[in-house]
């Protein structure tokens, strides 16, 4: 199941964006998953939900937006600080 390695990479990207000390503040993350990306969105959601319930995350939620095409990207991270949001811009 390569969705687990994708989920691990998403968690690594979150760490890269907010730093290790910021990971417990992540309360949500949004991903874009294209129908032709080769990733099964339901399996990815399961893997992410499993990883995000363990430290250093605190039960963050994942939101997967399914699209046409082959896109696979982390779109946003939501932190418990409402004034700070990290987003990847195209």
Q: Which domain holds residue 64?
A: 2-87
Three-state secondary structure along 3-69? HHHHHHHHHHHHHHHHCHHHHHHEEEEEEEEECCCCCCHHHHHHHHHHHCCCCCCCCCEEEEEEECC
Condensed to tens digits (0 to 9), the pLDDT of residues 53-70 reads 999 998 899 999 999 999
Query: Domain total for the chain?
Result: 1
What pLDDT, on a 0 to 100 scale, did the predictor assign at position 37?
A: 96
- What is the pTM (predicted TM-score) of this model? 0.85
pLDDT value of position 67: 97
- 20-35 per-position pLDDT tens digit: 988 999 999 999 999 9
CATH number at residue 35: 3.30.2320.50
């Amino acid at each position: 199941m390569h969705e687990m390695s994708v989920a691990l990479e998403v968690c690594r990207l979150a760490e890269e964006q907010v730093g290790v000390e910021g990971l417990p503040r992540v309360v949500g993350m949004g991903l874009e998953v294209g129908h032709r990306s080769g990733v099964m969105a339901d399996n990815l959601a399961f893997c992410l939900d499993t990883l995000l319930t363990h430290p250093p995350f605190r039960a963050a939620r994942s939101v997967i937006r399914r699209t046409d095409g082959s896109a696979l990207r982390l779109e946003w991270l939501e932190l418990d600080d409402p004034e700070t949001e990290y987003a990847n811009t195209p």
